[in-house]
A = this chain, B = another copy of it.
Amino acid sequence: MSLLTVGTVAFDAIETPFGKTDKIVGGAATYIAWSASYFSKQVNIVSVIGDDFDMNELDLLKNTDAKSKSRGKIDTQGVEVKKGEKSFFWSGKYHLDMNSRDTLITDLNVLADFNPIIPNEYKASDILLLGNIDPALQLKVIDQIPVRPKLVVMDTMNFWMDIAWDNLMKVIAKIDVLAINDAEARQLSKEYSLVKAAKKILTMGPEFLIIKKGEHGALLFHENNVFFAPALPLEDVFDPTGAGDTFAGGFCGFLDKTRDISFENMKRAIIYGSAMASFCVEKFGTERLKNLTHKEIEDRVREFIDLVQFDIEIAD
């Protein structure tokens, strides 16, 4: 009942049509941890930050379980703090459609020579979620874990397809679930049809492929099966930053909690992940993910059920 994730813990500065932020705490592992803490008993983070980081935010992460008995614990001993260095910083500006954005600044800082070290206490984690970082580092993480976790999930992006193809292929061959967006699935497979793309990607290693389509939902492919989960139509999408990571955190957290990695249960996990993502976008950064109640999450899941429920009886 524990989840290990490796990814960025960082500063973001975000501009959307609805407003802009100064430097706020972001990073894939941050979103993943907040989201998963509603499901997993224990979330272990491996990352790197500079000593410019907002340590109060790190304390908040470490104290999720103090807030509510039903929240898991987030362990941050694997977050290396580099003295005299600066944390990874990303700044972006979203277009009106909220589906596309311009990156304004990417300061790698501590990330430039990140060397992930997995603490011994983390090595028996049940699920490993490889956040979107250099595939060479993802490989280093896998190599440090003596007994393969029950499930290895990987997030990546087009950037690594462009510059680190060979290492990317090596990681993909070792994982169970790959989560990428539709454009990335096309780039990875060199197929335009997502059905054809999925077939091809499922021969590269993973048994499950999640294709994320943002406001258009997500597809789960496994063998000859396909499942589609919509995104919830929202009155306002305030800030999409971290939605994909929040989805992945909820997805893995739910699988960890329920200890069931069947296709049927992955469908449920996708709904829970989508519900978590629908909260994420309602406020800037991780704000909305910090103090949710299980009642709010269940109510949101019920909205997904209502959204797609229909009743057709076909005579056999």
Contacts and interface: CB of A to CB of B under 8 A. Distances in A.
B227 A192 contact: no
7 closest A-B pairs by CB: A216-B216, A267-B310, A228-B230, A195-B235, A308-B308, A195-B233, A228-B307
A264 B309 CA distance: 10
A235 B195 CA distance: 5
A112 interface: no
Copy number of this protein in the oligomer? 2
B193 A237 contact: yes
A314 B236 CA distance: 26
A273 to B, nearest CB: 12
B192 A312 contact: no
Interface string A170-196: 000000000000000000000011111
Nearest to A304: B312
A268 B312 contact: yes
Interface of A: 96-97, 192-196, 213, 216-217, 219, 225-230, 233-237, 264, 267-268, 271, 298, 301-302, 305-308, 310-312, 314
Given A217-B230, A228-B233, A234-B195, A268 B310 contact: yes
A302 B196 CA distance: 21
A312 B254 CA distance: 12
Given A96-B192, A194-B233, A312 B301 contact: yes
A196 B225 CA distance: 34
9 contacts: A194-B233, A195-B233, A226-B307, A227-B310, A230-B230, A267-B310, A268-B310, A298-B314, A305-B314
Contacts of A235: 193, 195-196
Contacts of A194: 233
Nearest to A219: B233
A193 B264 contact: no
A235 B191 CA distance: 10
